[in-house]
Amino acid sequence: MQGEIKTSKKPVIFSGIQPSGRLTVGNYIGSLRNFKLLEDNYNSLYCVVDMHAITVRQDPTELRRNISELAALYLAVGLDPNKNILYCQSHVPAHAELAWVLNCFTYMGELQRMTQYKDKSAKHVDNINAGLFTYPVLMAADILLYQTDVVPVGADQKQHLEIARDIAVRFNNIYGDVLVVPEPYIPKLGAKILSLKDPLRKMSKSDPEDTFIGMLDSPDMIRKKMKRAVTDSDARIKYDPENKPGVSNLMSILSILTGRGIDAIEADYAGKGYGVLKAEAAEACIEALAPIQAEHKRWMADQAELNRVLKDGAERASRIAARTMAKVRKKVGLAPLF
């Protein structure tokens, strides 16, 4: 059996990604890539948040497939299942249990202010369900269950992190120091990769195919999508996110994936057209994704081993979660367990 996460004193990281479609380079740059970079200095839990995914309607067969694909991607980016706890949210019922308790410490007004709720309810007018509304409370439970210190996420999740902190502080003010108040970890560059078709919106895996580069896209697909990315008409390669969001987005992707600074990119591409920038951004994606795609294929071909990793992860996560739940039950006054 693998070691317990709390035996060493490293701070705890928790993060989750929804298995709501095929992951994009936005997900990679804003979150997955950082998981790997942070691996050695933290005790980390990375979760496939399948219960969050059902807040919008999902095809069950497709959802199951997306869960496997996402778990395989965690492993394919190099996360070591011995150093990190990799598991599925619905395998640890304590997430739902704590979410219920925290629902009773969260105000309707706070949830009504959430921009993700506003966006998603505008997008799914025929299914504005209570789960979509209380989504941030389940996310707070995910995080607080493990006494998490740091949560690596993209910029779009900042507001959800703030509500998780507010809930923890509120709970502690009533019951004493029960829950650790988590800090967000949002990368300086790449926290918001933009849609290829509408560079005023974030790139999102549940948007139409031509708006994103998928982590599993073939080289041809990547080249084709990049070629059609929306830029602007003045043809100057300059990093100016406000006035030139499309071009700046491609420059950010190129910079992060190649390690070249934005200034160097600006200098190298002075006087060149957008076609060259798009072609090089495409090649940078292809090169960064190729080893991940190869590993992903290997893991997908070994579902038995993938399931073994997830089962082991869920068992280890459950043991940590049980400690927080025992404290919470006692503090709140729920019926003692026999």
Long-range contacts at 266-275 (CB < 8 A, ≥ 24 apart): 266/237, 266/238, 266/239, 269/237, 270/237, 272/237, 273/235, 274/231, 274/235, 274/237, 274/247, 275/227
Contact yes or no for 132/55 (Cβ under 8 A) = yes
Q: State the minimum distance, in angstroms, from the CB of residue 184 to ligand LTN.
A: 9
Residue number, nearest CB to ligand LTN: 16
Residue 139 interacting with ligand LTN (CB under 6 A) = yes
Q: How far apart are CA 24 and CA 217, in angstroms?
A: 9
Q: How far apart are CA 226 and CA 148, in angstroms?
A: 38
Q: What is the DSSP string of 102-119?
A: HHTTS-HHHHHT-HHHHH
Residue 151 interacting with ligand LTN (CB under 6 A) = yes
> In this chain, which stretch among 13-21, 142-150, 267-275, 280-288 interacts with ligand ATP, using CB under 6 A?
13-21
Residue 156 interacting with ligand ATP (CB under 6 A) = yes
Phi then psi for residue 194, to 5 deg, are -100, 160
Q: Which does 27 bind (CB under 5 to 8 A by kind): ligand LTN, ligand ATP, none?
A: ligand ATP
Residue number, nearest CB to ligand ATP: 30
Site for ligand ATP in 195-254 (CB under 6 A): 202-206
311 an active-site residue? Answer: no
Q: Which does 203 bind (CB under 5 to 8 A by kind): ligand ATP, ligand LTN, none?
A: ligand ATP
Contact yes or no for 13/148 (Cβ under 8 A) = yes
β-sheet bridge partners, residue 84: 44
Phi then psi for residue 93, to 5 deg, are -60, -20
Cβ closest to ligand ATP, residue 156 vs residue 268: 156
Which amino acid type is present at position 220? D
192 an active-site residue? Answer: no
197 an active-site residue? Answer: no
Q: How far apart are CA 283 and CA 17, in angstroms?
A: 26
Residue 256 interacting with ligand LTN (CB under 6 A) = no
Q: Which of 202, 225, 244, 278 is catalytic?
A: 202
Read off the DSSP letter of residue 86: E
Residue 153 interacting with ligand LTN (CB under 6 A) = yes
Q: Which does 204 bind (CB under 5 to 8 A by kind): ligand LTN, ligand ATP, none?
A: ligand ATP
Q: State the minimum distance, in angstroms, from the CB of residue 24 to ligand LTN.
A: 12
Q: Beta-carbon neighbour count of residue 183 at 10 Å?
A: 13
Among 33, 52, 120, 205, binds ligand LTN (CB under 6 A): 52
Among 5, 12, 13, 14, binds ligand LTN (CB under 6 A): 14
Among 94, 102, 191, 284, binds ligand ATP (CB under 6 A): 191
Binding mask 29-48 for ligand ATP (x = CB under 6 A): xxx-----------------
Q: How far is CA 32 from CA 85, 154, 178, 253, 324, in A?
A: 14, 10, 29, 14, 26
User: Which of 187, 102, 186, 181 is CA-nearest to residue 149?
Assistant: 181
Q: Which residues bind ligand LTN (CB under 6 A)?
A: 14-16, 18, 49, 52, 139, 142-143, 151, 153, 157, 160
Indicate which residues carry an active-site annotation.
Answer: 120, 202, 205
- The footprint of ligand ATP (CB under 6 A) covers 17-18, 20-21, 24, 26-27, 29-31, 153-154, 156-157, 191-193, 202-206
